[in-house]
């Protein structure tokens, strides 16, 4: 598997059957590749392999399956460290137009690669996300079994955000291959094929100095034991932000040594 851009999803298999508007990949922008590999390898049990992009890039593997990309480009490009989720669309140019029409920002792209086209954008509250039009990782239909179990947008107003992303990603437009959107337990829930793939919750504050409070997409990974992940993260310079439990299992919100935010959880959310 190869990646054609530090922020673009790695790809091989045709995406003809990909659910439109659903999450399809996640990339980490880091400062040091070896340090990131050591940290996430210890915390999440990942292995890594090189890509055609060179020494600053790698693909993370879980049980031999690609689950995420890492690009050590934050220092060179003077961009923030963090996780970026990607959503599949049939036409990235049209998605770029829909983003701009809604007064949001296309920060990078659309950029063409051998396996497809990508862009990176920020919504109106500043949360960063990506859009991908092209091939997806082989076995993408089981990606959530090994990769991010769900994405959670922490935003100022979940209803307003749902309208924005629904328009950009064409959620709930009635098409058989699209995502559905519901309001449950005081948050917006996005499903693809009946499975929860994203949640949008209100309460983030745009100007807060704490990045955990500002609007952002939180990438959540399923693990057998959150306590072991917390211990491993702390041992390698990571920080525990908060931990607790819900009806579906335990969770821990973590910050890696570079400042990248992510969550580990013991259970998949119910469909």
Q: What is the pLDDT of residues 123-171, one digit of tens each?
A: 999 999 999 998 875 655 566 666 677 899 999 999 999 999 999 999 9
- Work out the pLDDT band at 18, boundaries 50, 70, 90: low
Q: Do residues 215 and 238 touch, judged by C-beta distance below 8 A?
A: no
Highest mean pLDDT among 93-107, 144-158, 238-252: 93-107
Q: How many domains does the chain have?
A: 1
Would you place residue 78 in the very low, low, confident or very high pLDDT band (cuts 50, 70, 90)? low
Q: Residue 125: inside a domain, yes or no?
A: yes
Residue 166 lies in a domain: yes
pTM: 0.88
**Residue 236 belongs to some domain of the structure:** yes
Residue 203, SS3? Answer: coil
pLDDT at position 66:
85
Give percent of the chain with pLDDT exceeding 90. 57
DSSP assignment of 47-74 equals EEEEETTEEEEEEEEETTEEEEEEE--H
Q: Render pLDDT for 195-214 as a digit per residue (tens, 0 to 9).
A: 889 999 998 787 776 777 78
pLDDT of residue 15: 44
Does 5 reside within a domain? no
d(CA 96, CA 121): 9
Establish if 271 belongs to a structural domain: no
pLDDT-derived band at 121, boundaries 50, 70, 90: very high
For residue 76, the model assigns a pLDDT of: 64
- Does 16 map to a domain? no
Range of the domain at 186: 23-265
Phi first, then psi: what are they for 195, rounded to 5°?
-100, 140
* Structure confidence by residue, pLDDT tens digits, 30-54: 999 999 999 999 999 999 988 766 7
pLDDT, residue 271, reads: 47
From 90, 56, 89, select the one nearest 75 (Cα to Cα): 56
pLDDT at 113 over 80: no
Q: The CATH number of the domain where 176 resides is what?
A: 3.10.180.10
Greater model confidence, 37 or 269: 37
Given a cut of 50, whether residue 2 has pLDDT beyond it is no
Tokens read off for 46: 């990942």
């Amino acid at each position: 598997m190869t990646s054609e851009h530090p922020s673009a999803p790695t790809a091989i298999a045709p995406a003809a059957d990909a659910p439109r508007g659903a999450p399809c990949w996640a990339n980490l922008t880091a400062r040091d590749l070896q340090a990131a590999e050591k940290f996430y390898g210890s915390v999440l049990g990942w292995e890594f392999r090189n890509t055609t992009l060179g020494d600053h890039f790698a693909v993370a593997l879980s049980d031999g399956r690609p689950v995420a990309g890492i690009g050590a480009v934050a220092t060179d490009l003077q961009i923030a460290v963090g996780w970026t989720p990607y959503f599949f669309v049939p036409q990235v140019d049209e998605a770029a137009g829909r983003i701009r029409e809604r007064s949001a920002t296309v920060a990078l792209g659309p950029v063409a690669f051998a396996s497809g086209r990508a862009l990176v954008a920020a919504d109106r509250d500043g949360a960063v996300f990506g859009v991908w039009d092209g091939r997806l990782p082989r076995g993408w239909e089981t990606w959530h079994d090994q990769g991010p179990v769900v994405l959670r947008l922490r935003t100022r107003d979940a209803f307003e955000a749902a309208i924005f992303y629904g328009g950009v990603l064409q959620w709930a437009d009635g098409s058989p291959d699209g995502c559905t959107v519901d309001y449950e337990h005081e948050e917006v829930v996005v499903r693809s094929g009946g499975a929860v793939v994203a949640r949008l919750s209100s309460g983030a504050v745009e100007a807060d100095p704490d990045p955990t409070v500002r609007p952002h997409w939180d990438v959540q990974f399923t693990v057998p034991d959150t306590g072991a992940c917390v211990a491993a993260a702390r041992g390698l310079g990571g920080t525990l932000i908060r931990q607790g439990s819900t009806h579906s299992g335990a969770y821990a919100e973590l910050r890696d040594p570079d400042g990248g935010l992510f969550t580990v959880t013991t259970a998949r959310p119910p469909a």
